[in-house]
A and B are shown apart, each in its own frame.
Chain A
């Protein structure tokens, strides 16, 4: 569904991502792991067109989207829930969700989608008319995910959905990710929380200093202390 071929991303003279080739197949959850500063956020931001790909190509559903503007990529069914949630402060939960549905013209379908996700995240229904800033971190993360889903994407990229959240809340977010996978959504999940991400991912890529250092089944990485230690520094504990 998503094909990256030799993708590099640069900020001026600094190369944040170097020649990354990767794929995500329909229906999969793929984890993108790696330490802080490895280039994970740069990679997903460039895939969705927020920052330019400096070389290489990005394909979505067989179509080249390397130079396609963000808003058009989202309209094609690929979206990103950005790092740090970035809900619209000062706007209500309802307005945040309405903005998420901007690509949808069929009002009845929007209502239906809204109902689906208010069902999935009941706290959003409870806080529907409150401003987004009054929500807790976990609630804001749920809002950010629901907002992305309002555009009815076929593939969702989540950038650090567990960032800054308490372990119990992280667990709830991860449960929702599994729930979304069961509904048929394809996902690429960026995580620092490697052990837990590998529990629900099908495959994993590990990025270090902008380069891919591992790709393979999530179970293979998770079961190998040597690999976990080498790439993520979390193996033996």
Chain B
């Protein structure tokens, strides 16, 4: 029983992490048709912000957590302002290449100016421990991550449905030109989307770092890849699809982790991708993706 609950909460936390990252990718994609492959670098920069803050002025690691989230949000806003805004009206491939460019620049700047090897980042001790709920010992990180995901998703829903910015973002996902015809500033909507994606990435970064305890320049690659797969699995462009895709992917991984015999455990990711591929053959537009005929969207 305890094992089952532990695995469930593990699955939810990994799934939640992928969902947070996938939502960030999806929200930017839905508005700008841009797959922001520099999304992983937001996690990396959040981590390095923790590293530097700890080295310079922060003594209690608890303050590093909001610093991580703020740094990722700030970095997302900066990417938009410096890199993506100048190519906003260029063909979509230009945006995609820009994203790769940003990613390479950040990775190499960290390699050159900081270090090539992983650096340990202080994490509050209580996050590493376990928490006792109803007589069950559960890892604190996983419980926190699951609840943070729920809170963040609720917050996102409120933002999208109750605020003017959120309404504009939803409308922009349908028809950006007409949103501008409403007199809504394009810059503000896009900046909002990037800020939200950065915030969600920062939140995920806190838990990624709590798990690995160290930063390195390439650490953003694997998470952004998972987020991308989650988006494809759920249906690209759909926010609900991103959340569902992220959750399914994470849960699938944990399920395989828990059930695969040890000889084939090394093939876990390969098996996951195989299954994702099978889903896409069955539903080419993803689990929740709608079939769009060519030319439906101008």
Contact surface of A with B, Cβ cutoff 8 Å? 48, 50, 69-71, 74-75, 79-80, 82, 86, 88-91, 95, 98-100, 102-103, 147-148, 151
Additional 6 contacts, C-beta under 8 A, given A82-B177, A90-B170, A102-B182: A50-B177, A70-B181, A74-B183, A82-B178, A95-B171, A103-B183
Number of interchain pairs (Cβ within 8 Å): 64
Contact surface of B with A, Cβ cutoff 8 Å? 164, 167-168, 170-171, 174-175, 177-186
CB-CB nearest in chain A for B184: A102
Are A102 and B174 neighbours in the complex by a CB distance under 8 Å? no
CA distance A103 to B183 in the complex (A): 6
Are B174 and A151 neighbours in the complex by a CB distance under 8 Å? no
Are B181 and A88 neighbours in the complex by a CB distance under 8 Å? no
25 contacts between A and B (CB under 8 A): A50-B177, A70-B177, A70-B180, A74-B183, A82-B177, A86-B177, A86-B178, A88-B171, A88-B174, A88-B175, A89-B174, A91-B167, A91-B171, A91-B174, A95-B167, A98-B167, A99-B171, A99-B179, A99-B182, A100-B182, A102-B164, A102-B183, A102-B184, A147-B182, A151-B182
Taking the closest CB of chain B, its distance from the CB of A19, in whole angstroms, is: 25
CA distance A69 to B171 in the complex (A): 19
CB-CB nearest in chain B for A50: B177
Partner of B181, one of A80, A91, A95: A80
Known: A95-B167, A98-B167, A102-B164. A90 touches B174 (CB 8 A): yes
Taking the closest CB of chain A, its distance from the CB of B40, in whole angstroms, is: 30
CB-CB nearest in chain B for A73: B183
Are A71 and B177 neighbours in the complex by a CB distance under 8 Å? no
CB-CB nearest in chain A for B188: A71
CA distance A100 to B184 in the complex (A): 9
Q: Which of A48, A88, A89, A147 has the most CB of B within 10 A?
A: A88
Instruction: Report A-chain residues with C-beta under 8 Å of the C-beta of B168.
Output: 99, 102
Instruction: Report B-chain residues with C-beta under 8 Å of the C-beta of A147.
Output: 182
Instruction: Report B-chain residues with C-beta under 8 Å of the C-beta of A90.
Output: 170, 174
CA distance A70 to B167 in the complex (A): 19
Are A48 and B182 neighbours in the complex by a CB distance under 8 Å? no
CB-CB nearest in chain A for B164: A102
Are B181 and A74 neighbours in the complex by a CB distance under 8 Å? yes
CB-CB nearest in chain B for A132: B174
CA distance A151 to B179 in the complex (A): 12
Are B181 and A82 neighbours in the complex by a CB distance under 8 Å? yes
Are B183 and A88 neighbours in the complex by a CB distance under 8 Å? no
Instruction: Report A-chain residues with C-beta under 8 Å of the C-beta of B179.
Output: 99
CA distance A82 to B175 in the complex (A): 12
CB-CB nearest in chain B for A45: B177
CA distance A67 to B19 in the complex (A): 41
Taking the closest CB of chain B, its distance from the CB of A79, in whole angstroms, is: 6
CA distance A80 to B183 in the complex (A): 11
Are B178 and A71 neighbours in the complex by a CB distance under 8 Å? no
Taking the closest CB of chain A, its distance from the CB of B79, in whole angstroms, is: 22
Instruction: Report A-chain residues with C-beta under 8 Å of the C-beta of B180.
Output: 50, 69-71, 74
Taking the closest CB of chain A, its distance from the CB of B291, in whole angstroms, is: 15
CA distance A48 to B186 in the complex (A): 15
Instruction: Report B-chain residues with C-beta under 8 Å of the C-beta of A75.
Output: 183
Taking the closest CB of chain B, its distance from the CB of A132, in whole angstroms, is: 10
CA distance A21 to B171 in the complex (A): 34
Are A48 and B181 neighbours in the complex by a CB distance under 8 Å? yes
Partner of B175, one of A79, A86, A95, A148: A86
Instruction: Report A-chain residues with C-beta under 8 Å of the C-beta of B170.
Output: 88, 90-91
CA distance A152 to B168 in the complex (A): 19
Instruction: Report B-chain residues with C-beta under 8 Å of the C-beta of A69.
Output: 180, 186
Are B167 and A151 neighbours in the complex by a CB distance under 8 Å? no
Taking the closest CB of chain A, its distance from the CB of B178, in whole angstroms, is: 5
Q: Which of A79, A89, A95, A99 has the most CB of B within 10 A?
A: A99
Taking the closest CB of chain A, its distance from the CB of B87, in whole angstroms, is: 17
- List the 8 shortest-distance A-B pairs measured between CB atoms, nearest first: A103-B183, A74-B183, A70-B180, A88-B171, A102-B184, A86-B178, A99-B182, A102-B182
CB-CB nearest in chain A for B174: A88
Taking the closest CB of chain A, its distance from the CB of B182, in whole angstroms, is: 5
Are A151 and B183 neighbours in the complex by a CB distance under 8 Å? yes
Known: A95-B167, A99-B167, A102-B164. A71 touches B183 (CB 8 A): yes
CA distance A26 to B167 in the complex (A): 34
Taking the closest CB of chain B, its distance from the CB of A183, in whole angstroms, is: 20
CA distance A48 to B182 in the complex (A): 11
